[in-house]
Amino acid sequence: MIGFQIHHRPRQVSDKLIRAFFDIPVANVSDCMMRITSGGPRLRPMHKSGRLAGPALTVKTRPGDNLMIHKALDMAAPGDIIVVDAGGDLTNSLFGEIMLNYAITRKIGGIVLNGAIRDAKDIAASSLPVYAAGVTHRGPYKDGPGEINVPIAIDGMVIHPGDLIIGDFDGFLCIKIDDADQVLQAALEKLKQEQITMANIAAGVHDTSWVDARLKSLGCDPTPQ
């Protein structure tokens, strides 16, 4: 029935790729995806420490209702990232201290909520990655509807069950399963080039000639008048 559906995840990104992406900055990966993929700046890290890297277990729920999030916590395998499209509404919280502690015992890899949390102090002290759009003390409803392991979208970023979700303190990002190998190679090369740049800065040999060259190409005289 539409609105009440619970599915198995048909496939998921490999553990090898999850490990490979774990220490790569999200900003580097985003650049390699041409800067057109994003879950939006509203969803911010609410936790103290910890990185996201794992397969998406998706939840689509009515704003203000967390029934299917509770079910997703029961279904999730260790390392899963529960990604919730709750419409971005901040009227009611969807996740708090009790669910946080249950998620930790279940060894969940992280929580991404296009919605609000409460018990923010407890979440802020935790190393379980939690991303959310806001905080409110008002509690949730538990009536549904909701769907699990269906395609969802957050600020235009489409997420399918099993896609790779990564996150750090710059935000989170979804990488399609079929794109992950290609994106990984590009991101590793990007990281290598940035490490060379940082070494050149430390050595005092950083080349910034590209700035004037770019200005000239835009018709701007780079020489101060």
The annotation places the binding site for Mg(2+) at 119
Distance set, CA 29 to CA 13, 38, 51, 132 (Å): 16, 11, 14, 21
Q: Residues comprising the binding site for substrate?
A: 96-99, 118
Q: Residues comprising the binding site?
A: 96-99, 118-119
DSSP string, the chain: -TTEEE--------HHHHHHHTTS-HHHHHHHTTT-----TT-EE-SSS--EEEEEEEEEE-TTB-HHHHHHHHHPPTT-EEEEE-TT--SSEEE-HHHHHHHHHTT--EEEEEEEES-HHHHHT-SS-EEEEEE-SPPPB----EEESS-EEETTEEE-TT-EEEEETTEEEEE-GGGHHHHHHHHHHHHHHHHHHHHHHHHT----HHHHHHHHHTT---S--
> Buried (b) or exposed (e) across 130-147, using 16+ Cβ within 10 A?
bbbbbbbeeebeeeeebb
